[in-house]
Amino acid sequence: MDLLAHFHALDAFLEGTQPLWSPVPYRHATPAWLQNRADIAHSLLALDDNSLARLQEDPAVLEALVASWVPGLGEALALSRFPEWPRLRQPTQPERLDRFVPGRKWQQVEALVASLPEVSLPRVEWCAGKGHLGRLMSAQWPQHPVTSLERDAQLVAAGQAASRAFGLAQHFVQADVLALPDSRLLSGRHVVALHACGDLHQHLVLQAHALDIAALDLVPCCYHLTNRPRYQSLLGRLYLDRDGLRLPLTETVTARGYDRRQRLQEAVWRLGFDALLQVVTGCTIYQPQPPIPKAWLRGSFEDFCRAMAERAGIKLPSSANLADAEARGQARHARTERLSLLRLAFRAPLEAWLVLDKALRLEAQGYEVAVGRFCARALTPRNLLVHARR
Residue type, 124: V
Contact 345, 76 (CB under 8 A): no
Our CB check for ligand SAM shows the closer of 202 and 233 to be 202
- Strand-strand pairing, 215-221 and 190-197: parallel
Which of 43, 53, 152, 309 is in the footprint of ligand SAM by CB under 6 A?
Answer: 152
Q: Which of 119, 133, 217, 229 shows the shortest CA–CA distance to 172?
A: 133
Return the number of the residue (123 or 132) whose C-beta is nearest ligand SAM. 132
- Applying CB under 6 A, which of residues 62, 77, 79, 128 lies at the interface with ligand SAM? 128
Size of site (CB under 6 A) for ligand SAM: 17
Beta carbon of residue 185, minimum distance to ligand SAM (angstroms, whole number): 12
Write the CB contacts of 237 (distance below 8 Å, at least 6 apart in sequence): 11, 12, 15
Whose Cβ is closer to ligand SAM: residue 75's or residue 152's? 152
Answer for which of 10, 155, 362, 384 binds ligand SAM (CB under 6 A) is 155
Q: Does 195 bind ligand SAM (CB under 6 A)?
A: yes
Cα(98)–Cα(91) distance, integer angstroms? 12
Site string for ligand SAM, 101-120 (x = CB under 6 A): ----x---------------
8 exposure class (CB count in 10 Å sphere: 0-12, 13-18, 19+): middle
Phi, then psi, of 179 in degrees rounded to 5 = -140, 45
CA distances for 214 relative to 58, 192, 320, 387, 388, angstroms: 40, 11, 65, 11, 8
Please select the residue that binds ligand SAM; options are 53, 169, 185, 197, rule is CB under 6 A.
Answer: 197
Bridging pattern class, strands 215-221 and 384-389: antiparallel
What's the DSSP call for residue 125? E
Q: Is residue 158 close enough to count as binding ligand SAM by CB under 6 A?
A: no
**Position 203 contacts ligand SAM (CB under 6 A):** no
Cα end-to-end distance, the chain, whole Å: 21
Q: Which stretch binds ligand SAM (CB under 6 A): 5-13, 41-49, 151-159, 270-278?
A: 151-159
- Which residue in the set 176, 241, 303, 368 belongs to the binding site for ligand SAM (CB under 6 A)? 176
Nearer to ligand SAM, 52 or 197 (CB): 197
Q: Are 264 and 272 in contact (CB under 8 A)?
A: no
In the list 34, 139, 168, 194, the residue contacting ligand SAM (rule: CB under 6 A) is 194
User: Does 54 engage in binding with ligand SAM (CB under 6 A)?
Assistant: no
Using rule CB under 6 A, residue 151 touches ligand SAM: yes
User: Of the two residues 181 and 282, which places its CB atom closer to ligand SAM in the complex?
Assistant: 181
Q: How far is the CB of 73 from ligand SAM (least distance, A)?
A: 30
| Residue 60 exposed, middle or buried by CB count within 10 Å (0-12, 13-18, 19+) | exposed
What H or E segment, with its residue span, contains residue 74?
Answer: helix 73-79
Which residues would be at the binding site for ligand SAM (CB under 6 A)? 105, 127-129, 132, 149-152, 155, 176-178, 194-195, 197, 200
